Structure 1
Amino acid sequence: MSVPTSVLLSRLSAAGYTFFSGVPCSHFADLFERAAESGALTDVPAANEGSAVALAAGAALSGQRAVVALQNSGLGHVVNPLTSLLMVNRIPVLLLISVRGHPDESADEPQHIFMGAATKAILDQLAIDWDEFDGTTSGLDRLLVRAAEAHRQEAPFAVLLRKGQLTPSAAGATPDAPDYPLSAGEAIELICQRLDPTTSIVSTTGFITRELFRIDDRPENFYMQGSLGHCSALAAGLAIAMPNRPVLALDGDGGALMHMGVMSTIGHTQPQNLIHVVLDNESYASTGGQASTSRSSSLDLVASACGYRSSVRCAEAGDILKAMEHFATTRGPHFLLCKINRSHPATLPRVTTRHTPVGNKRRFQDAMGRHVLEPSAAG
């Protein structure tokens, strides 16, 4: 059973909600698109779920009713603002949580297993009242009554939704898509052409990892499945721990924005063997193409300001090849912002069709052990 997204939004509006924020999930793809178009909601895109809760809390302090939509994996980001901000100060916010990896459903991707099993227990431990949506309009109305009671008690309330319980509304205006010449796959192919074969690649979750897996599956690739926003930190940790090994972080705009402070850490620690690539299609492609805020941000200038030794912005094939050639002969850390379009193959293989997460890790570690590298002569 399911209800149209338009029904959910109209019910939220009728209940007095005027502020919407969150981080996209594929189960909520239509919700984020329709919320952005809604004239009844102030839609504020957030870089991470914790910030979405804080944004909503700010709106709530002004007297508005606020909604935060997030995937249950994002509970890890919101524990602190839920407890030390909402609960301590008694600020009511409605949480719409999509549940991936629910133990009652067929197996999801492995990165959702642990949080899927723990979602309800985490909310219980935090003393946050919650209930599951049953996919009916009457069930939605019942949950909004409970949310209204929580609001009167100055407490947050969480609604847990499963895959398929929201059906897409009639399509509205098509969001503007960037008209850059290269796709993610084409950019990855160009980058791989100029890599030292011993380079360790850490790729961010979603379509970028799946594109790399499709194009060049190799033992030196560590595919991050889940942990959005942590690709550059993992790659930096690897580069710092193994300074003679070339390391490349294959990141996306959504991930880079989510924990942009890591760029300051990279600039401060100066891992000379690190290349940080951001494939920027100005959207969350893996969750339905919702717009990110990268169109109004200059990530290449942020990298320069954070202390990367070089930072390059590219949109053409020749510029990517030229930048990679320069990076190969000079000390990093280097930053490469590739502005790309949103096209992908109709079907993209999943890493789990060939490698388990643990198998991927062990293959990667074995590959690093096989390569004996001499100290870098880069100047």
Structure 2
Amino acid sequence: MKAEDFVSMIGSGFYTGVPDSQLKALCNYLEADCRKGSRRHIIAANEGNCTALAAGYHLATGKVPVVYMQNSGEGNAINPVASLLNDKVYGIPCIFVIGWRGEPGVHDEPQHRYQGEVTLKLLEDMDISYFVVSRETDSAELEIVMEKFRKALSCGKQAAFVVKKDALTYDGKVMYKNDNQMTREQIIRYVTETAGEEPVISTTGKASRELFEIREQKNQSHKYDFLTVGSMGHCSSIVMGAAISRPELRFWCIDGDGAVLMHMGALAVIGEAAPSNLVHVVINNGAHETVGGMPTAARKIRLSEVARACGYPYAVCVDSEEELKLELAKAKEHRGLRMIEVLCAIGAREDLGRPTVSAQENKNNFMSFLESCKTQREETA
């Protein structure tokens, strides 16, 4: 089904969400349509944020909003769905459009498998009616479903469309680009060269995929890296938990702008604790590039300034290789919590692969490496 037909049949004037590769056609159409002023479209920080925005829209207009997300975002939305939207509380109607990653029987990455298994059950537990949209779904079928949904929505209930892979299409072209010069892969290469044999923890998406391939290209061990393939927005918190537990080691965090925005409160927690052995590198291309390139709010702000306001004693933004190398060298030489925000171009190699080790193997190798560092320290003490 064409994304424009899908949107037309839903009939809402307000869309907000977190982009998803499964919903790329919908996101691209909404971006193009929004520029024409046909309806309001807001790309939010996280799925709970989307749900609250939708509630505000309904309170102000009495109309039904639409919230879209990858199914991994259901967890972020559960609190406002249960304690705000539910008809036992305020009874605020809302339509959810959910990309079904990890659909049972369809091959997907490890971080999506369990989420895919429980996607529909979570909706049932939240008392949300749902309909699964596939490539075979046509307009007549969708209209019948919408009639059923409208009755539920009129009673302050919520409804959801769970979208399978390739169920929605869009033929229009939307270009996502910026004027930055450095590529993410270049930036990560410089970070690993500086980090040497110190532990690195990377955020979900292409950053972790590129880190893995850089190690492969250099014939280096993957034991130094923990690849956070899921739980978007929590990489920096994982690093902080590790850093305060092993103060004798320096930890390098490779983060992304969309991930930082998703749970930005973590900056305040890190800034307050100020672990002196944490280097927080935030690659800011102003885009949710891993799922298609849709823009983030970070394209208009400086995350390094936010970090400074949150208590980071040192935070800087760089946009050239020379500046990046200089700041990485400073981080290597001196102790102290610091953020290095790096302005980055949008784009990646078309032949970019995926990690060939399992998540469990990655965890075990990383933990063994950290334990070996502890053993070496004890032996030399």
- Range of TM-score over shorter length: over 0.9
Matched residue type, 2:128: I
Q: CA deviation at 1:331?
A: 2.3
In structure 2, the partner of 1:99 is 100
Distance (whole Å) between structure 2 residues aligned to residue 339 and residue 292 of structure 1: 13
Instruction: Write the mapping of 1:1-379 to structure 2, written as runs, cut at 5 A.
Output: 3-12=1-10, 15=11, 17-38=12-33, 39-62=37-60, 63-87=62-86, 88-103=89-104, 105-134=105-134, 135-171=137-173, 173-175=174-176, 177-195=177-195, 197-216=196-215, 218-351=222-355, 354-372=356-374
Distance (whole Å) between structure 2 residues aligned to residue 121 and residue 9 of structure 1: 25
Identity %: 31
Matched residue type, 1:128: I
Deviations along 1:1-39, whole A, 9 cap, x unmatched?
Answer: xx0111112223xx3x11100001001112112112223
Q: CA deviation at 1:132?
A: 1.5
Contact 2:257/2:298 (<8 A) preserved = yes
Distance (whole Å) between structure 2 residues aligned to residue 344 and residue 324 of structure 1: 23
Q: TM-score, normalised by structure 1?
A: 0.93
Distance (whole Å) between structure 1 residues aligned to residue 316 and residue 272 of structure 2: 19
Q: CA deviation at 1:258?
A: 0.4
Distance (whole Å) between structure 2 residues aligned to residue 164 and residue 142 of structure 1: 21
Matched residue type, 1:337: E
Instruction: Give unmatched runs, 5+ long, in structure 1.
Output: none
Deviations along 1:67-117, whole A, 9 cap, x unmatched?
Answer: 0001111011011000000002100000011111111x3221111111111
Distance (whole Å) between structure 1 residues aligned to residue 100 and residue 141 of structure 2: 17
Instruction: Give unmatched runs, 5+ long, in structure 2.
Output: 217-221
Contact 2:289/2:347 (<8 A) preserved = no
Q: CA deviation at 1:139?
A: 2.2
Local SS of the residue matching 1:213: helix
Distance (whole Å) between structure 2 residues aligned to residue 149 and residue 295 of structure 1: 40
Deviations along 1:235-282, whole A, 9 cap, x unmatched?
Answer: 111101111111011100110110111000000011100011111111
Contact 1:198/1:245 (<8 A) preserved = no
Matched residue type, 2:103: H
Deviations along 1:131-189, whole A, 9 cap, x unmatched?
Answer: 22242222222222222112211111111110010012322x534x1121110011111
Contact 1:273/1:331 (<8 A) preserved = yes
Local SS of the residue matching 1:307: coil
Contact 1:222/1:361 (<8 A) preserved = yes
Q: TM-score, normalised by structure 2?
A: 0.92
Distance (whole Å) between structure 1 residues aligned to residue 19 and residue 368 of structure 2: 35
Matched residue type, 2:357: H
